[in-house]
Amino acid sequence: MQLPDPKTGIDALLTSRAPRLYPPFFRAVFAGMDAEDAHHRGFQAIRAAERTGASAALRSAFRPDPLLARTVMGLRFPTPFGLAAGFDKEGRGTAALADLGFGHVEVGTITAQPQPGNPRPRLFRLPEDRALVNRMGFNNDGAAAVAPRLARTRATLERRFGQARPVLGVNIGKSKVVPLEDAAEDYRASTRLLAPHADYLAVNVSSPNTPGLRQLQEISALEPLLAAVRDEADRAVAGRRVPLAVKIAPDLADEDVREVAAMAARLGLDGVIATNTTITREGLTADAAHVESLGAGGLSGAPLTARSLEVLRVLRAALPAETAVISVGGVTDADDVLERLDAGAQLVQGYTAFLYEGPFWAGRITAGLGRSLRA
């Protein structure tokens, strides 16, 4: 896809009335391709734009309005909208993604041990619902391999953006081969390697694609696990405190969400990320037999909008004001982001719509937020 002329075309692409160039490109090039292959091709193009210098024009055009900047979890975010974990699983193109207008990029999920993830195919599109089903299974190179990439990324972001740089989040999960009873030590190992390079850490106990992982959302298991990660992060990083958040599932009952909020307050967690993918298949317009044929996995995208908002409101009512809520699930445009902010989220993340909207998506949202604030 050819980038627009930076002097004449980019501003037009960032207006809500602009024609969408990417959807027809997606239908022509990516729609017939395996979803995971299409993801890799698209990500390679974003990284190539960075290597050739083409993303420099985007970086300038997508720079957010300074009025959007906010301090959350003790960190300065240039805009409240960021990219959720799952797109850049291994920290291979985080700086290139930052050029596209995201206020933060959450890398991962990363595990202590390298692992291939689940067998392919494991990523499926539901275009009529603007949704995805995935059972990736935390495929990544492992914390020891990813850590030096994150160190290089931080240096690159600081050089390009200075003090207004996008924030680097790191999402960690349990290695599949590690028994649940040893999960705390496994998370400690990831934390030890990754915390020195992270602006904040997110503990993922809510993916449905690692057997037994969601059992760690039970308070009796989750509280000591998060306390162990907090302790390890404090040991691993001298001179600064790395904020800690936990990512929860939309499938928790409201009462369980309130218990997580109470635990977060007891531990002094910096944030709760709500929500991960869902195992339900309710409200889809796609053919039910086709959806069933895809098999197990987490559903993300537009079908999560209502439940994600509900969980956000439950959390905000139950959490102390100083504990941040990062809302994710079914976010498509600037109006969605504003709705989450109005409902009490300090930050908002998206992911699935990125695959359908293309490389100008974050820039459009950021520009829309800026226009709303100025208005």
Active site residue ranges = 207
* Backbone dihedral angles phi then psi of residue 333, each to the nearest 5 degrees: -145, 180
Distance CA(348)–CA(325), nearest Å, equals: 9
DSSP state of 211: T
DSSP sequence for 286-307: S-HHHHHHH-S-EEEEGGGHHH
CA 319 to chain centre: 21
Q: Could you tell me how many helices (H) and strands (E) the chain has, helices first?
A: 14, 13
SS3 204: strand
SS3 85: coil
Task: Give the CA radius of gyration of the chain.
Answer: 19
Closest by CA to 269, choosing from 300, 297, 241, 308, is 241
Distance CA(233)–CA(224), nearest Å, equals: 14
Q: Are 200 and 150 in contact (CB under 8 A)?
A: no
Q: What order do you get walking across the sheet with 131-134 strand by strand?
A: 123-126, 131-134, 298-301
Contacts within 8 Å (CB) and 24+ apart, 48-56: 49/3, 49/96, 49/99, 49/359, 50/93, 50/95, 50/96, 50/99, 54/3, 55/96, 55/99, 55/100, 56/99
Residue spans of beta strands (DSSP E) within the chain: 70-72, 75-77, 81-83, 104-110, 123-126, 131-134, 167-172, 200-204, 244-248, 271-274, 298-301, 324-328, 347-350
In the block, residue with structure tokens 């995935």 = 134
Closest by CA to 243, choosing from 263, 269, 206, is 269
Give residue 213's region: left, alpha or beta (phi > 0; psi -120 to 50): alpha
Distance CA(78)–CA(121), nearest Å, equals: 37
